[in-house]
Amino acid sequence: MLIVDKEGILIRYNVKMEKSMTPEDAAAELYPKDEIYRAIAEAIFEGEEDDVIEGLEAAIAAGKEPIALIDDALMVGMKVVTELYDQGVIFLPNVMMSADAMLEGIEFCKAEAGSSPKPKGKVVVHVAEGDVHDIGKSIVAALLRANGYEVVDLGRDVPVDEVIAAVKKESPMMLTGTALMTTTMYAFKEVNDRLLEAGIKMPFQCGGGAVNQDFVSTYELGVYGEEAADAPKMADAILAGKGLAQLRAIFHKH
């Protein structure tokens, strides 16, 4: 009888066999170590809305703050999704399911946190015309609300005309814009020009995957926001009396 010692042969010839990795294996390597956060991140990856809510309920019962869970668990799960999508390990339908589960989770966290009694100020948020990517915008809105601001959320793919009309109607202390595509971010320049034409000089914080500081610096009212958490920070800075130049000095890195 012939006995083939595959392991021995591989070792002798110094060959390393790569095990084929499933998307679940790849994701497992990226989840957070903390069991509570991990369960939520995994549910986001799998696009299982019920499991996301169950995980969030368990986390809140264990004493976690609902709004902190957006960053600490939901965002971590979405980062895994984004990384594996970029690597070509998972595909758009998976991403869409995860995005829906993420938005459901954000809504749940917002509802659990409740609303603060007297808003510190009003902020209008929107996603650029032609762009449907609204996860970042929803995080921005949730963090602003959690920090005591009233948020007028215009939603996604918002025509420039509608943004201008909302600013005139609501007179907010600040406007935010999100764009994930290099083709849609130019709407921000148009918003900027139309506001200036109407004599409105207000801080317009812009962020989202496609946007960077150099682009935002090309229009007068623009201040770049890298992380969603920069939105309430900038609103606080405006309340503290900072003008556009000072806001750029605080939020721009170079």
* Positions that interact with ligand B12 (CB under 6 A): 78, 82, 85-86, 92, 95-96, 99, 130-137, 139-140, 176, 178, 180-183, 205, 207-210, 225, 227-228, 230-231
Query: Cβ 95 to ligand B12, closest distance in Å?
Result: 5
Our CB check for ligand B12 shows the closer of 58 and 252 to be 252
Query: Cβ 156 to ligand B12, closest distance in Å?
Result: 7
Give the long-range contacts of residues 231-235, CB within 8 A, separation 24 or more.
Answer: 231/123, 231/125, 231/140, 231/143, 231/144, 231/176, 231/205, 231/207, 232/143, 232/144, 232/146, 232/147, 232/149, 234/174, 234/203, 234/205, 235/120, 235/121, 235/123, 235/144, 235/147, 235/149, 235/173, 235/174
Our CB check for ligand B12 shows the closer of 176 and 192 to be 176
Do 153 and 178 touch, CB atoms closer than 8 A?
no
Our CB check for ligand B12 shows the closer of 48 and 227 to be 227
Do 244 and 221 touch, CB atoms closer than 8 A?
yes
Query: Cβ 109 to ligand B12, closest distance in Å?
Result: 14
Our CB check for ligand B12 shows the closer of 140 and 237 to be 140
Query: Cβ 1 to ligand B12, closest distance in Å?
Result: 54
Sign for the pseudo-dihedral over CA of 98, 99, 100, 104: positive
Query: Cβ 53 to ligand B12, closest distance in Å?
Result: 18
* Four-CA torsion 163, 164, 170, 173, nearest 10 degrees: 90
Our CB check for ligand B12 shows the closer of 3 and 107 to be 107
